[in-house]
């Protein structure tokens, strides 16, 4: 099985994620971008598992992917909670408005 397809897909997704992370100003979209980057990593993990250890029973690549999905879900939950709070206090979900940590 060729790796080219999955890898191209993963790369595309990752680049879209990075672009969204840096360029979008809406906090929800930034969060979604992060999720996309995580998904692209998952694709890589599953693809390489199948290529390198096809006979392995433990399927560790898939296990990793599951863990990452779980963590991503948690992260999304926390992120959304923060964004909700932000919206309540600032009436905005624009990340440019939040620079409390500035010197």
20/31 Cα distance (integer angstroms):
9
Contact yes or no for 44/10 (Cβ under 8 A)? yes
Residue placing its CB nearer to another protein in the complex, 28 or 70: 28
**What's the closest the beta carbon of residue 20 comes to another protein, in angstroms?**
10
- Does residue 55 touch another protein according to CB under 8 A? no
- Does residue 46 touch another protein according to CB under 8 A? no
- Does residue 83 touch another protein according to CB under 8 A? no
Q: Hey, which residues between 5 and 24 contact another protein (CB under 8 A)?
A: 18, 21-23
Helix axes 60-90, 27-52, angle to 10 degrees: 180
- Does residue 89 touch another protein according to CB under 8 A? no
67/9 Cα distance (integer angstroms):
21
């Amino acid at each position: 099985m060729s790796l080219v397809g999955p890898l191209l897909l993963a790369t595309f997704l990752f680049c879209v994620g990075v672009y969204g992370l840096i360029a979008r100003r809406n906090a929800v979209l930034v969060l979604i971008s992060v999720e996309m980057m995580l998904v692209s990593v998952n694709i890589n993990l599953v693809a390489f598992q199948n290529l390198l250890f096809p006979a392995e029973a433990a399927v560790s690549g898939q296990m990793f992917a599951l863990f990452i999905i779980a963590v991503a879900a948690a992260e999304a939950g926390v992120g959304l909670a923060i964004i909700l709070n932000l919206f309540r206090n600032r009436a905005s979900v624009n990340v440019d408005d939040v620079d409390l940590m500035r010197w």
